[in-house]
Structure 1
């Protein structure tokens, strides 16, 4: 299909949101909304925001006036199923992959998963030790079939190995691998390199503000309750009755509490022992 020209396939917490935003602000480039439809993941994965081909093509159609259209579903990188489905949809698609130092990747991803309610252990060291002890490998056809796969840090640090699989499938000329550290150091240079890869003219942009700062909950307990309410629709009947009685379309209470419970936090310092262990495991391919 020629309505999908490029994809930022991952990895999460590697600058994908920033790069997608920068690209989407170029007049000749369209990035889908939602940014992460995750349409090509296995149907068993409940995080797919777009689940039908008609809907997927509809969000791509909104970019018909642009030279290229793309999306940025960051979990595609690790999915064998997604890689093959993308190739089936457009074997000539341009693939963009961002990677970073494995230890920083794990720390950032862990913090995001704790914030999102997908990681039960708020302590990085304990969460890593739990996954480090887990038997390596993917005992499934594709990683999405494994419950809780987004917390499989030991497997996810193999991001460069997964990137090679995209190179092997789409060809070296159609895959661009970028480093998060380079994006942070000189976003303009990475932006222009990406434009060249997409065969899009440089629009002379010079301002690249930070995107997607790290967030945490002021109260972890309240955060867990809000996530549980959102997933299980706890209190939905009560909320409907309250809105009806008050004659309003939305109470806005939950949204207000969510906003109040969010704070920005600095990047945490990773103990050197832990950094060395994670990076060493990723560098040597020691996953047994």
Structure 2
């Protein structure tokens, strides 16, 4: 078996995700298929690359050595492809982002600013993956969040601009939930609920687990992607953390948590000195989204946030 770029990409995905399950989701393959591929790679290299543990996978010393050679090769290939495509086409701006209600307003402002520039958007649940794509030249800018207490792995050579230093995370629930009658919800009010979280989102489960531990709670947790989580919430089967800019829905209640125990930092990543206008347009789009969310607007008023005066 000869190693190919896809094999190196699989090894790096497993190392970055920390588990075969998460890596398989990111690569768009099944976990059994990725496990079989890893075994073939290890046989070809005649050595064990990862230790399989109950909590996931971690590289062996031999695996770290292989990964140290694989990453520069992948980065170089990605940069080559990106540069070739850029030369073959006209001016373009490649955006990356985790999910955000600010995205439509951001794209609208960028299109207005650069009407002759082709703008593409790549959305991913993993901020760390988006940062690597900027570093390797696959993206020009990336709008990402960093869960409080779970620092991002920032590749060297990136410039980070802080959009919001601490954005509180709210909680979403069925409108029939007893806590939905309150303007602000205490975690203890949700002690008997099932929570749903997407484990593939960098830092989200770790952040929630720390908050539960600090509050002395150990609720049942359902691991699900965004769309499944929405169905569980609407049906009253679970509650979940959510962005404060989440729009009002008749079938879902969005409420802040007392004391704001969950928070993220919002960042824009670029290569040094590039695309300062993209940050300004993102800031305006975020403010627009913040002010159109009733729950967040009320929170901003209660906390006398400077965002109120910045619109």
TM-score, normalized by the shorter chain, greater than 0.5: no
Taking structure 2 as the reference length, what is the TM-score of the superposition?
0.23
Which structure's residues are more often strand, by fraction? 2
TM (norm. structure 1) is 0.25
Structure scoring higher RCO (CA < 8 A, sep ≥ 6) equals 1
